[in-house]
Structure 1
Amino acid sequence: MSKLKLVLPTPEYKEKIMDYKREFLENGDSMDGTAGLKDAESFEKWYTAFCNNLKEETVAKGLVPATTYLAISTEDGRLIGMIDIRHRLNDYLLSFGGHIGYSVRKSERQKGYATEMLALALKECIKLDINKVLITCNKENIGSAKTILNNNGKFENEIVEGSRITQRYWITLD
């Protein structure tokens, strides 16, 4: 049985989303897959940007349409993680970002949540007609690489940019 469900953000989740942001800021962690939550001045501005990102006609210049989901515990309703599905790739995403970005709050890591979140997001990719999914991670992020491999990711290559090494994986969906 699933321990998580993916839901679209709504204003009802404001308190949980802002608590999620607080935990990441306190720990100095990277907030991947959150549609810019780290830099948002307020929930309202972030939510407006999230809504605009959903469609090609309203997405911010330089970005691609994307859907961001909250990964909510089916047991207690806690916001465990966030995951962002980009509907298409631009040059930057093809090299470094991929179709999917995600994060799990520090207090909930190493419990299998990222693997389950990615599996659920891949089902959403099928609905978006994305059948070949690129996922990338920093070479030093062993947990993320394991998450990708646990979801049948096939390693393609590494891209070196300065001191950063990005690993690229593909997942083919049936």
Structure 2
Amino acid sequence: MNRLKLVLPTPEYEEKLMDYKREFIENGDSMDGSAGLNNAETFEEWYSVFLDNLKEETVRKGLVPATTYMAISTDNGRLIGMIDIRHILNEYLLNYGGHIGYSIRKSERKQGYATEMLALALKECAKLNIKKVLITCDKENIASVKTMINNGAKIENEIPEGNRITQRYWITLD
């Protein structure tokens, strides 16, 4: 299962990140776990936010400190997915967002990458001393449910959120 490695974004990855963004926009997909890449006009704007959000002292208003990783293929260096680890939870994240958000580009889905990427992110959570990891998803997102369960997640409950139901799963780390 060593098909992926988690890498912190740097300016050298600008082209790969913008290509990742382009694929999500073209497919009309939700780009979760990308630290707002979908909303940034430029790489520089996004990278500035990414750097600020790494530390509590500089985190942007309304957000929590978080580390965003790129999941890079160990075979060909392709950016497969992105995953965001929130170091702490505010009330919204406790109910709806969780510690981790992630996405896999459409052209790379259904190959087990999300399960592997989440397993790698859980190792990073342990380094951050996050012992119980909350991950949430829309009840209809069967792929995400399977990804979480494959990594040992146990459902706690479901919370209505507008016209959807958010499922809350916990993974306890050793």
TM-score (norm 1): 0.99
- List runs of 5+ in structure 2 lacking aligned partners: none
Other-structure match for 2:119: 119
Other-structure match for 1:160: 160
Other-structure match for 1:6: 6
**CA shift for structure 1 position 134:** 0.1
Q: Secondary structure at the match of 1:55?
A: coil
Number of residue pairs aligned between Structure 1 and Structure 2: 174
Other-structure match for 2:93: 93
Letter in 2 for 1:150: N
Other-structure match for 1:79: 79
Q: Percent same amino acid at aligned positions? A: 78
TM-score (norm 2): 0.99
Runs of 4+ in 1 over 2 A off after TM superposition: none
Other-structure match for 1:39: 39
Question: Which whole-Å CA distance do the structure 1 matches of 2:162 and 2:42 have between them?
Answer: 33
Other-structure match for 1:170: 170
Other-structure match for 1:106: 106
Q: Secondary structure at the match of 1:159?
A: strand
Q: Secondary structure at the match of 1:152?
A: coil
Question: Which whole-Å CA distance do the structure 1 matches of 2:37 and 2:133 have between them?
Answer: 24
**CA shift for structure 1 position 162:** 2.2
Once superposed, what is the RMSD of the aligned Cα atoms? 0.5
Q: Secondary structure at the match of 1:165?
A: strand
Q: Secondary structure at the match of 1:76?
A: coil
Letter in 2 for 1:11: P
Letter in 2 for 1:101: G
Other-structure match for 2:66: 66
- List runs of 5+ in structure 1 lacking aligned partners: none
Question: Which whole-Å CA distance do the structure 2 matches of 1:51 and 1:157 have between them?
Answer: 33
Other-structure match for 2:24: 24
**CA shift for structure 1 position 161:** 1.9
Question: Which whole-Å CA distance do the structure 1 matches of 2:129 and 2:77 have between them?
Answer: 29
Question: Which whole-Å CA distance do the structure 2 matches of 1:73 and 1:152 have between them?
Answer: 24
